[in-house]
Chain A
Amino acid sequence: MADLTTKYLGLSLKNPVIASSSTLTDNIESIKNLEENGAAAVVLRSIFEEEITMEAEHVVSQAVKEGYDEGLFDYFDSRVKQQNVDDYLDLILECKRQTQIPVIGSINAMSDHEWVYFAKKMVEVGVDAIELNMFLLPSDMRRTCDENEKLYFDVVNKLLKEVDVPVTLKMSHYFSNLGMMIKKLSETGLSGLVLFNKFFAPDFDINAEKVTPTYVLSGPRDIYMSLRWIAMMSDRVDCDLAASTGVHDGAGVIKQVLAGAKAVQVASTLYKNGPEQIGVMLKELEDWMNKKGYNSLDDFRGKLSYGKVDNPSLLQRVQFMKYFGTFTNK
């Protein structure tokens, strides 16, 4: 029987499939269900500073409309924050009480000090690791590339000084020198990097001529971005890499481990197929390993990474050239 265990962020996982941060991981019943279906760990739904601010603003504006003195709600955002933090910490405590799998807290803050505050609170109640859900859309015309990148390092360095649990960064691919950025971040002391975050993206409704949200779930074809970069970087980084976005089946897990991932994070496939999909993926992984004669994930982890693959230039190729030259239209 194949050994599916893996180490990620220093945590011992029974298999490489982690339920990633989503609404599936924002309540204890759903998390228990994920565990029962084989999830090796959960990343809790992010605590969003922006969401807290917006919630507070909404409450205050409603109250003012109803005749309340605005001064009464001078620091109401703090109260909302406190409530959100308390609820989040309660969820961590419930997870620790009712499940056996590691619990990873997730933070999305806007201000430097809030990253640390949220993280320290989570550590106080026993979270196993912290994932930073950090992203700055590089659209601020006043900020240079260096300044943007520095913000990531500032937050990471500050946080690593303050907390003593493993910290991972779920990052985007919006960097001008992504390979270097991944490498440099891995050298900060982070225990892991998650490649890559899936973001909300806008679309246009051409009839209404309005901006609308796109379909939010990923598909299996979305795996290729993270597959390329995990394969390119897994031999070159000083921390664990986990794959996210586009891992929908056992084949996806296998590919990412071949690329060098320590674990994969899944959400869209769980929305589409239910939590049972984790079991299906693990069965496919196990069957494949048995068929290939692998006893453990380490037997084939990184086998197709940049440093080990026979033709690494394929991982770097971005122009189609001959590939499309043989492609014919119907």
Chain B
Amino acid sequence: MAFDIKGILSPFKALNQMGKHPHTVKFPYEQKVTAPRYRGLHFNDLEECIGCGTCSTICQNKAIDMINIEGIDPSSGDTGLRPRVDNGRCCWCALCVEVCPTGSLSLTTDYIYVTEDADSFLWTPGVDNPDGKEKKSFVSDSEHSLLEYARIPMRELEGTERVKSFAEVVLGYSEEEARKEAERCIGCGICTDNCPVHMHIPEYINAIALGNDEDAIRIIYDNNPLGETCGKVCTRRCEEICAISKRGEPVAIRWLKRYATERAANEEMVKEIVNPTILPPNGHSVGIIGAGPSGLTAAYYLAMRGFNVDIYESKAHAGGMIMYGIPKYRLPLDSIDKQIEYMESIGVKIHYNTMVGKDVTLEELHQKHEAVFIGIGFEKPYSIGLTNEEAEGSIQAVNFLREINSDKHVEIGDKVVVIGGGNVAIDAARVSRRLGADVTILYRRRVQDMPADWEEIEGAEDEGVHIKPQAIPLELITNENGRVVAIKYANAEMVPDPKGGRPRPKIIEGDEHIIETTAVIGAIGQEADYSFISEKIKSQIEIKRGRIVVNESQQTGVEWLFAGGDIANNRADAISAIADGFRATKGIEKFILNKEN
């Protein structure tokens, strides 16, 4: 064996390193610097997290469950749950972070976790490491997120084109668009809680994403027989709290519902697809006053449960405010007809042109039916409270919309002023534009205070409606023939409400103006007309702030009398009315069947 001098000198090579900075880290005195986007222990921003559970759902190792945390309560748009990680299962793949819609979940630079309990590797990010906020490393941002935050835009008619007719403004999703939009949904179900009806939103969106449109229709009709209406005009409280909306545009739940329900082109197709299970007649009878959304919903589900249902409708067409209050460019007549015809096809009987209180009394209905449901809506307009309000040319918006929707002519001339800031005011303004008038809306507060949907406000502005905020009407001015020719208004300043409410408009003295007009349309609110209810019954029910007080089953103080819709809820929209009708179905069934037993 030859002698190798290197073998002798090699140990001395270490001397080369003398005085150099060592590569080893003197833990715990020093911390190792981790790589960019290092995937260490989880951190969750408890404030940002909404408890959607997407992290838990995506986890391939079932390492995440959702738990209650003390001090975090469920609220609208927040389940109150927060993720807990089992570090014994976690492989730090970070999928949970990449799908977190709020971006609250991240991985940190921390990588050491010591526990004496080998069975417990449970770690509640954010709770167990509040300081993790400063150590975030692998975060979900728009560059790295697996979610799609931009909505598939809805095609609409151009503003200039819209005002030429009452054609539907929204053109609807194509099949491809619908599938792509549906795929944005993460299926967390947060939306379901905020929907008054608690529709099965993730389920029908998933069905659309998978191309199973008929399944989507069946799922929608499970607890909403007016799904197509909601697909067009719902106030979509679901979208307000959509998890995706935390960092992007909410999933277009309403438009997807519209897409699905429109796949059934007529009532026969609806019936064939939904194929409802209708129980044999049970010998019980229910009367319903008003064929609006709440009455129709109650009638539909009661009829399916074997009840004999009669709806008494004062007008020539069913639908209530969705028929007579919503303009046809938002909700076409064909669509309403399809939905009503479907309900009639499963046994709902509607007695048209039958006004309770005139053609038949409430007491007579009680004699005929074991329970009666009132869903008459708010159709009586508030007086605008101005001098000359009864003059020719002064019109109430609900009357105006009813006439126009009934294909009648209303003389409004070419210069219209609408008073109000809600959806009815916007509808009246946009309809007036379609009738060829220049339109100004006078609203006494700021635009951001208008109760109307922002989409409707934008739509009105696109169509050329001029909105004059902070304008308080003072009087209508008439000509020698007693016809309205102008309206006087005063500009207002907003003053804080000492009690913490919305700022109040206060007239600026002397800042008065006159607008010449050919018609003034009042749209400042409506209430119910309870004149058909006898004093005896009225004395047994409670009417508070114009609304009938009901219990959780929509039952009034009179056990056989139920109520729903605008007259009984605090939302005054179609979906809440549908929810009332659905609840009343169960309440009425329970009341009648319990009585029988």
Contact = CB atoms under 8 A, between A and B. Distances in A.
Interface in A101-128: 111-113, 116-117, 120
Interface in B473-524: 474-475, 488, 499, 501-502, 507, 524
Interface in A59-91: 59-61, 63-64, 66-76, 78-79, 81-82, 85
B413 interface: no
Nearest to B386: A117
Contact of B570 (A72, A85, A111, A120): A72
A79 B380 CA distance: 11
A60 B445 CA distance: 16
B570 A68 contact: yes
A116 B382 contact: no
B420 interface: yes
B545 A71 contact: no
Contacts of A79: 382, 525, 527, 546
Most chain B CB within 10 A, of A72, A76, A112, A116, is at: A72
Interface residues of A, number: 29
Nearest to B389: A117
B570 A76 contact: no
B130 interface: no
A162 interface: yes
B501 A70 contact: yes
Nearest to B502: A70
Interface size on B, as a range, is 20 to 34
Contacts of B422: 71, 74
A76 B525 contact: yes
A81 B385 contact: yes
B501 A78 contact: no
Given A59-B545, A66-B570, A113-B474, A78 B387 contact: no
Question: Looking at chain B's contact residues, is the secondary structure mostly helix, strand, loop, or mixed?
Answer: loop
A199 B532 CA distance: 44
B501 A60 contact: yes
Contacts of A117: 385-387, 475
Interface string B523-562: 0110100000000000000000110000000000000000
Most chain A CB within 10 A, of B385, B386, B422, B451, is at: B385
A75 B387 contact: no
Contacts of B545: 59, 63, 68, 73
Nearest to B378: A72
A286 to B, nearest CB: 45
Interface in A5-37: none
Nearest to A79: B382
A111 B387 CA distance: 13
B383 interface: yes
B421 interface: yes
Contacts of B451: 69, 71-72, 74
B571 interface: yes
B360 interface: no
Contacts of A82: 382-383, 385
Contacts of B525: 74-76, 78-79
B439 to A, nearest CB: 19
Contacts of A74: 420-422, 445, 449, 451, 524-525
18 contacts: A60-B501, A63-B545, A64-B501, A67-B570, A73-B545, A74-B420, A74-B422, A75-B420, A75-B524, A75-B525, A76-B525, A78-B383, A79-B546, A81-B383, A111-B507, A113-B488, A117-B386, A117-B475
